[in-house]
Structure 1
């Protein structure tokens, strides 16, 4: 397919892969339409949807008249859909956006401002999780993004500013980032089409470590939908080893580009964090055991982790977890984790009790303060009433005195004439 001319190009090309998201597309697309920055285009690639997604897309394409393009393909995966859209994009910047998520109205405005002000090749922003079951936004886990070691002066930066923190600070997601289109094309960055999960890593992390100028926006500009049945996250067991392949591929990239040594602690910490997350989110015991045994047998070695020591990780907990997986069978490991989670649950309940007690104390203090306020208001009302009564009596006496004054003057005048 030929590339689109860049004559009259928009500022942002929004690339949205779509697969069976008809129920969420209006909220997604409306959030783009509602942007305070109006210079954008939407490129939606339908990846063989079997619901009404294409009908919804075509209706929006008709309504937006030239600002949206819909491409249809046989089901080939999210990575293929995104890659297909990249050469079609006319915008100066690229944003990759999931079809079930939605943006805050100032997302493009603030991201473009940061990009232009700092001449950044990549802009990263904060986010909300949107709990699809409870229908509300919620904060993501603490520390999931960590801008502080980098964006302390408002200037653009690269991984060299804080190598150890780098890979744990910005995540592998494509959807909370804005990419300079020329930077993406010159670097040849593409999403991994040989995996169905963790396909972002092959695009985002090489781009991040190659970038000389990265900027951040502290505001939460996107809501990432979680707890949705049928999402890609809900089907991880079918592609249980994809994350291992993605980590291995990125390690090879670091080695080939001569950055592995400088980013060794960052890589080791991120790799173990990713391993633990993916193990913990597998749905079946059989998939868990298969991945677990692979890691213990040769996976850690293949990923360059097996021979590392405690100080090769930013947090010793990652070294401890690697040793547990290497030395324990899956059942023993899970039993240990269950015991730890039970202890953590008890600690959390204790904290909750303390918070509840503090809340009850605060409510009691509030009620007492309200009672004191009510009593003071009653006293004030009585005082005002008494004051009004006194003033009324005084006004009456003054009025009577004023009325008597002319008569007194008349009597005085009459007396003088006689």
Structure 2
């Protein structure tokens, strides 16, 4: 396929209940110059059988196969290697897009001027939409300008989905990202966006709400079992270590590297507290430590947002 403007990347794992709505939102995009790259992540249900039926009717759908279940992080990297679009758009297989998403976001790239275009998203639960993330229209023409703005933002958006990302920007440090072969179940977006932001100079945020993030009770995000929390902590610790490694090897904006790593540590500490509570090991000293850490986090955020320190 020539002149592909957007490659939509969709890792697929046990989502037979949702995959048709996800695919319908892709093949019916008002921007037709797209390709849809499905990554079969070795699920046990009929998801890929459904995808194959769609692929028979639409040549824009390509399927690549993981040899074993590797999770969304590795799956997206595998797809990025195969992609031919000018921009990449990552879509979770239980989510779906506004039918104008690719067209509106691609137009906002201003003929390839912007490295990343970020748009808003809805939280979708029981056929009802509420705001998940939204942005005021704003653009940046240098990485330092963006880094200063991001550092002073109260809410940090570090999800990989909900953006158009120029393919060469994603691929610039793909050799670093593919060194991670473990199955990350949490924080994989944190690491990916940390690396992607390093490669960006021009970024555009638009106010359009174009992504529908679905509440899926079976997703790893909503699994509160002790085993899953342990795996989530392990993922966060690996991501934090890889961010620190990346900083040592690359000259990064000091403000956003500090921001990302500190937020990663904060989120990991929250999971460790949840684990102690689940295991019945959460005592008075833990409560006191948690209170101090929580108050310090709030104070530090206020100093960062108001004074940029």
Q: 1:25 aligns with which of 19, 22, 27?
A: 19
Cα distance in 1 between the residues matched to 2:103 and 2:207: 13
Cα–Cα, structure 1 residues 311 and 101, in superposed 2: closer, same or farther, change >3 Å? Answer: closer
Cα distance, 1:312 vs. partner? 8.5
Cα separation, partners in 2 of 1:282 and 1:15, compared to 1, 3 Å: farther
1:361 aligns with: none
Q: Work out which structure has the larger RCO, using CA pairs closer than 8 Å and 6 or more positions apart in sequence.
A: 2
How much has 1:147 moved relative to structure 2?
A: 5.0
Q: Which residue of 2 aligns with 1:231?
A: 219
Counterpart residue number, 1:138? 130
Indicate the residue corresponding to 2:177 in structure 1. Answer: 190
- Change over 3 Å in CA distance of 1:255–1:267 after alignment to 2: farther
Residue 167 of structure 2 is matched in structure 1 by: 181
Partner Cα separation in structure 2 for residue 288 and residue 16 of structure 1:
39
Contact 1:164 1:263 in 2 (8 A): no
Asked whether the 8 Å contact 2:37–2:63 carries over to 1, the reply is: yes
Distance in structure 1 (CA, Å) of the matches to 2:117 and 2:270: 25
* Alignment partner of 1:244 is 2:237: yes
Partners of 1:232 and 1:311 in 2: CA distance: 28
Provide closer, same or farther for how the CA distance between residues 155 and 210 of structure 1 changes in structure 2, counting only shifts above 3 A: closer
The structure with more strand, counted as a fraction of residues: 2
Q: Which residue of 2 aligns with 1:211?
A: 200
User: 2:267 aligns to what?
Assistant: 274
Shift of the 281–53 alpha-carbon distance from structure 1 to 2, 3 Å rule, reads farther
Q: Secondary structure at the match of 1:200?
A: helix
Structure with the largest fraction of helix = 1
Query: SS of 1:119's equivalent?
Result: coil
Q: Deviations over 1:314-344 (max 9, x none)?
A: 3369xxxxxxxxxxxxxxxxxxxxxxxxxxx
CA contact (8 A) 1:164 1:266 kept: no
Distance 2:202 2:281 in 1: 39
- Call closer, same or farther: CA 1:45–1:261 in 2, change over 3 Å: closer
| TM-score, reference length from structure 1 | 0.60
Q: 1 CA distance for matches of 2:242 and 2:217?
A: 30
What TM-score, normalized to structure 2? Answer: 0.80
Structure-2 separation of matches of 1:224 and 1:122: 20
Aligned-partner Cα distance in 1 for 2:76–2:116: 17
Corresponding residue pairs, total: 291
Distance 1:164 1:76, change over 3 A: same
Give 1:59's aligned residue: 53
Alpha-carbon distance in 1 for matches of 2:96, 2:140: 28
**How far did 1:262 drift?**
3.7
Q: 1:14 aligns with which of 8, 12, 37?
A: 8
Aligned equivalent of 2:307: none
What 5-or-longer segments of structure 1 have no aligned partner?
1-6, 297-304, 318-418
Question: 1:72: which partner in 2?
Answer: 65
Structure 1 residue aligned with 2:250? 257
RMSD: 3.7
Aligned mates of 2:84, 2:185 — CA distance in 1: 27
Deviation at 1:273, TM superposition (A): 4.9
CA distance in 1, matches of 2:303, 2:106: 39
Provide structure 2 residue ranges, at least 5 long, that are not aligned to the other structure.
305-309
Q: Which structure has the bigger radius of gyration?
A: 1
> Where does residue 313 of structure 1 map in the other structure?
300
Distance 1:156 1:32, change over 3 A: farther
